[in-house]
Every structure is written in structure tokens, then in C-alpha cells.
Structure 1
């Protein structure tokens, strides 16, 4: 079935994106590759939500592997008819896609909130969130970024990585939605073909 091949491609993309999200989330703990800021808890609190590691990462591995395995899945043949089994598996993949949407949605929301609030950094007034009352306007006002003296380049680091996580999780949601549609169409079409082609078994 071409629907299972499509699902496999989506699964491979999701797997790659999940790995990238995990890496991006890990890098958030080490601005400029320095470890002392995480150990002294001087990072934005949104880093500790593990949205890239958990939501768009580990959780996303479930639908990714389910979609990849659909091409070999036959649901035990469903009454001995392989096409019916494919239909059953495609419909079941919708649940995995919804789980993926939930995980990626969590990552997208946390990333957006983190970008609006801005990083926690050391300023002339001490450690604080200097951009939390700007409603995200600091993102285009680069002249204000110099307020943060430590960690070095923390604003660029946070904006870049949270933006990457925002974009990747958005792509994941789109791919999972495509698989929901693919699963519905593939499942229903497979069931129809099964009923038309089988005279001995009825699914």
C-alpha cells in the first residue's frame, strides 16, 4: 500500500526531527558550551521543562517507530487477509499520531513562552529576566541584548535554540496531522478493497 510507504517516510522524518530536538534542548543547558550555569541554576526556568528532550524528543519516538513499522505490519492478517491487516494498522496509527501532536504541541508552547519571556541573565541589577515585560519585542531590538553580561551571548543562544525547537515542533505537528489524514484514508480505502476482493472472509 502506498499509504504505508508514505507513513514510513513521515516516520523517518519524525525520527530525525526528534533527535535534533533532543540535541537542541541539551544545548540549552550549556550556553557557549559552559557547564557552570546549569549547576548553579542560573538558566531560564523553561529549560527545565525538558520540552525538547521529552515532548518533541522521546514522546515523538513512539509515533516515529510506529509509522516506520507500518510497511511490515499486517495485524496478524485480520481474518487471514493481509490487506485488511494493513487497514487495521493504518487506522491504529492515528492514535500514535495524536500522541505525537500532543508531545510536539507541548514543545511548541514552552518554546514560544520561553521566547516571549527571554533568558535569565546577569545584568547591572543582578540576576533576573530583563525582557519579561517586553512582550517579546526584544527579539527584534538587538540593542537591548547587551543588558545580559553573563552568560556570554546567552540571548543569542536562547533565541536561536528556542526558535529551532519552535520550528521543529511545528513541523512535527504538521507531519503528524498528515499521518492522521493518511491513516484515515489508507484505513478506509484498505477496508473497502478488502471487502471487494475477499469472497471467503468478511472483515
Structure 2
């Protein structure tokens, strides 16, 4: 594959996913789509910034590095003079590792939040976590335990599920770049098919 072109495609995809994750995390600060009267009424996992840090800002590091790799690569094989920069492809492995850590962090926070459920106003006027071990996931009737904010259960479940899916996709992309980076290091610029972009180059 043209490892630089493939890396650019991966970088563009990571950037888009990071933006979506960032937006989803911001929306979590407005449960039910409304501004909450006290920060203490937000779920703890919202303050872990899984989408903002893990799938967001931290993911922009490998994304930007992947985007620059095409400038250090070419569509040729190792026996030619313009083989690209093997060191750049090797360094992409480090950034891909950072991306895997960020995606892992975001995924862990999201899964914990989904299992625990949102913090909400329960019967009796107490704020807390009314669900036990994700029991609300299989029994929608339990959602009525949350009186306020309205629709907070579906709001948090949807957004954290989006963050979990994004984290998994980001992890897969970073894993693809690990393979792409190894191939680019061993045979810089070799051509073939990018597993994500599905672009074919003559080799």
C-alpha cells in the first residue's frame, strides 16, 4: 500500500471522530438537553472527560501525525530512491500507541457510565444513582425512577454509547496504522490496498 496516503486517510477519519466525540461529551453537561442547576447533579463519569480527553484532544495527536506522513512518503518500492521517510513511519507507531491509550480510556469511562446509569433526582427528592449493575438496560420500566432531568436516561445512554462506539473505531484505526507503520518502515511506500480507505495503487 502507499503507506503515506493510507495514513492520511486514517488521520482524516480520526479527526472527524474526535470532533464528534468532543461534541458528545459537551452535550453530556446538558442532561436531557437542558442546563442543570448544580454541577453536583451531573454523573461522575461526565467529569472524567472521556470524549474530550481520550477520544478528543488526545486523539488529535496521532491524527495530525498521520496526516503529515504522506509528505514523507511516495508511491514506490524500497529499491527506488524516493522511498519516503522510514523514521516518520516508525514514529507513527508511537503516536498510534497514544491513540490506543486514549481510545481505551474513553471506552472504559463510557462502559462504566452505561453500566452505572445516570445520576438523577429520585423519589423522595434525593439525587443519586437509582440503577444497579445496568438493570435498566434490559428493563425500560425502571427508567421512571429518574424524575429529573427529564429524558436523562436516554440522553446519557445514547451519548455514552456513541462515545463507546467511537472509541472502538478509533482503536481499530490506530491498530491499522500500527500495521501500516510497520510496513512503511520495512518497505517504505510499498503499494497495495489500504484496509480502511480501500484505495488501490499500482505497485
Q: 1:72 to 1:120 in 2, by over 3 A?
A: same
Moved over 4 A (4+): none
Which residue of structure 1 lines up, in the alignment, with residue 193 of structure 2? none
For residue 77 of structure 2, what is the aligned residue in structure 1?
Answer: none
User: Aligned equivalents of 1:30 and 1:61: distance in 2?
Assistant: 25
- What is the Cα deviation at residue 86 of structure 1? 2.1
Does 2:25 match 1:32?
Answer: no
Deviations 1:125-177 (A, max 9, x none): 3111001x2x2131121010011010000000000000000000110000000
> Which of the two has greater helix per residue?
1
Residues 1-16 of structure 1: matches in 2 within 5 Å? 2-16=2-16
Q: Structure 1-normalised TM-score? A: 0.85
Measured against aligned partners, the alpha-carbon deviations of 1:3-26 in whole angstroms (never above 9, x if no partner) come to 111111000000000000000000
Q: Which residue of 1 aligns with 2:197?
A: none
After superposition, the CA RMSD in angstroms is: 1.6
Residues 187/152 of structure 1: CA separation in 2 closer, same or farther (3 Å cut): same
The structure, 1 or 2, with the larger RCO (C-alpha pairs under 8 Å, 6+ apart) is 2
TM-score, normalising length: structure 2: 0.85
Q: Which has the larger radius of gyration?
A: 1
Give how far 1:82 is off.
4.3
Residue 41 of structure 1 aligns to a residue whose secondary structure is helix
Q: Distance in 1 between matches of 2:155 and 2:189?
A: 50
- State the Cα distance separating 1:36 from its structure 2 match: 2.4
Instruction: Measure, in 2, the Cα distance between the counterparts of 1:115 and 1:142.
Output: 14
Aligned residue in 1 for 2:62: 63
